[in-house]
Structure 1
Amino acid sequence: MKTQPQPKKVMLILCSFFFSLVFVAQAQNDELIHIWPDKVPGETAPKHPAVVTDNNSGGVTRLTDVTDPTLKVFLPDDKVNNGAAVIVCPGGGYRILAIDKEGYEVAEWLNTLGYTAFVLEYRVPQKQEGALNDIQRAIRIVRSEAEAWKLDPEKIGVIGFSAGGSLAARASTRYNEVTYKAQDAKDKLSSKPNFAMLIYPAYLDKGENRSLTPELKIDDNTPPMFLFATADDAHANSALVIATALRDNKIPVSLHLLPKGGHGYGLRNGNPAGETWPALAEIWLKSTVK
């Protein structure tokens, strides 16, 4: 006589199956790409995982001492995948990376819109030239593997927050410069993003009398940009000066300036600016990335 499974045993089997599915789904979104196959250009420290700082105030995970830059892949559901990608650059004053608030959470939001997202761990602290190498290489990697991720290689953008906004702006204006020695065939591809979103960007007004930072060379080929800041942010002038430069060069630009919101809010609830910019960015993306 065949015995029937006991209810508790059935429940354990079902739970085990459920968690296996969850694990598989997470594993698919947990692909980690090491940007540099061998030695990291200009880096003297050995490669090692980023260091999580002791400061988790505001419920933020902060990384520092990045010597092995990576891209973490976040895949949208196949039903909504629109064939476009966004590389996410967290902020942190080029000292740390606010990796969850301005990285992973943003990637998950982009997934809901159909975008494949790649969160960039670029070099910190105070390695601005290394960080530029990292984002240029990251864009080339994503472009080179576009077919594997079901992407259009001409629909690869960047989004950056604070210092990450500075880095996204640098990638959008210095893509013609050779900033590191070619590593492989990927480096023959363009490092120019097709569109850029700068959310409360910083350090873009380091020119004379708080004008545009001299390294940012805007011309007819600069990609379209979405800019968001608040008037009470000490860094708000950055968004204003780059918006003016883009307008003067007839580059499509969308600038939004709210009265209040401060700085560093990501897209978390509880701050009017953090609750506002994602909806505006979604509208802009629909009209820009076609």
Structure 2
Amino acid sequence: MSLVIYSMGRAQEHEVIDLWPSEVPGQSESKAPVVFSEDTRGNVTRIAKVTKPVLVVYEPASALKNGAAVIICPGGGYNILAIDLEGYEVAEWLSGLGYTAFVLQYRVPQNRAGALQDAQRAIRYVRGISEERGIDPNKVGILGFSAGGSLSARASTRYLEDSYAAVDALDKLSARPDFTALIYPAYLDQGPDRSLSPELRLSDETAPMFLFVAADDRFANSCLVMSSALQLQKVPFELHVLAHGGHGFGMRSGNHAAETWPKLCEEWLNVTVLKK
């Protein structure tokens, strides 16, 4: 573990956990620091390459800590990670609510197999350190945006698959998230006639889900087909569709959808996870 500094309007230090103690599965090149994109449109910091998958930890104040953890998967089309818009800013919000938040820097660009390995490892890792972190091992969830929503859905439905060979005792733990939030997820409708992607295998053990999207989002069908599949499988879920909002809005002010989903998600987490 090591410490790095990220700028989010002011300098902050956050613990960084290296997910893979030695070699990264399926990767031939050596681990290296992230490569940032020169594209900062929309005041968004984009990571263009990850060869060293990590979790950036946002601990809540001790007085707020509620015993639950959320792993956050930023989006970016599996090409980049919108690391502040859909990562650090969301982690600050969640930690302010009492959740121990972990921003997952999964492998990009275009490494879907590696991304799933990183997500499964992240869930196991957080569950493995739950006792020392004051986390209930049965309250470890995942939240993702766009491609990160795709990754979160994949992790939530493919947790019985061993996507990599075990590297230590942590890999004996379950990779199943206890709850899932998909915020404008993409790529969930890659089946025939835009039906549910065949790789997403639901069962009565699938974790409860929160889904949020705007109707004018080009990926809106992903939420609709997932919700239909969850209903057929009798998996608890909550779906919200706003008329307008587009895609990739994170939770910054100035967009009604961006300002709306956090309130709805907080209430869902209260009921579903914290049992308030």
TM-score bin, normalised by smaller chain: over 0.9
Letter in 1 for 2:155: A
Q: Match for residue 98 of structure 1?
A: 82
Alpha-carbon shift at residue 45 of structure 1 (Å): 1.8
TM-score by length of 1: 0.90
Q: Distance in 1 between matches of 2:61 and 2:233?
A: 38
Aligned length: 264
TM-score (norm 2): 0.95
1: distance between equivalents of 2:29 and 2:40?
25
Q: Is 1:268 the equivalent of 2:221?
A: no
Gaps of 5+ in 2: 1-10
Q: Percent identity?
A: 60
Does residue 229 (structure 1) correspond to residue 229 (structure 2)? The answer is no
**Cα shift readout 1:82-136 (whole Å, capped 9, x = no counterpart):** 0000000000000000000000000000011110000000000000000000000
Structure 1 residues 178-233: Cα deviation after superposition (integer angstroms, max 9, x where no partner): 11000000000000000000000000000000000000000000000000001100
Q: How many angstroms apart in 1 are the aligned matches of 2:160 and 2:30?
A: 29
Q: Deviations over 1:129-171 (max 9, x none)?
A: 0000000000101000001111000000000000000000000
- In the other structure, the counterpart of 1:166 is 150
Name the SS for the 1:148 alignment partner: helix
Indicate the residue corresponding to 1:115 in structure 2: 99
Q: Is 1:88 the equivalent of 2:97? A: no
- State the distance in 2 between where 1:268 and 1:62 align: 16
Task: Select the structure of larger CA radius of gyration.
Answer: 1
Does structure 1 residue 44 correspond to structure 2 residue 28?
A: yes
User: What residue is the counterpart of 1:21 in the other structure?
Assistant: none
Give, in whole Å, the separation in 2 of the partners of 1:45 and 1:228.
37
What residue in structure 1 maps to residue 201 of structure 2?
217
Q: Does 1:250 align with 2:234?
A: yes
Q: Which residue type is aligned with residue 232 of structure 1?
A: D
Output the CA distance in 2 between the equivalents of 1:64 and 1:85: 27
Please name the residue that 2:187 is paired with: 203
Choose from 140, 154, 166 the match for 1:182: 166
Q: Distance in 2 between matches of 1:44 and 1:94?
A: 19
How far apart, in 1, do the equivalents of 2:47 and 2:138 lie? 31
Which one of the candidate residues 60, 70, 73 is aligned to 2:57?
A: 73
Give the secondary-structure state (helix, strand or coil) at the position aligned to 1:158: strand
Q: CA deviation at 1:26?
A: 4.0
Instruction: Give the gaps of 5 or more residues in structure 1.
Output: 1-24
Please identify which structure carries the higher strand content. Answer: 2
Q: Give the alignment partner of residue 34 of structure 1, picking from 8, 15, 18.
A: 18
How many Å separate the matches in 1 of 2:64 and 2:273?
A: 15
SS of 1:281's equivalent in the other structure is helix
SS in 1 for 2:241: strand
Q: Secondary structure at the match of 2:231?
A: helix
Cα distance, 1:39 vs structure 2: 0.7
Distance in 1 between residues matched to 2:82 and 2:27, nearest whole Å: 22
Alignment-derived partner of residue 147 in structure 1? 131
| SS of alignment partner, residue 114 of structure 2 | helix
RMSD (Å), alpha carbons = 0.9
Does 2:243 correspond to 1:259?
A: yes
Runs of 4+ in 1 over 3 A off after TM superposition: none
Q: Distance in 2 between matches of 1:44 and 1:64?
A: 18
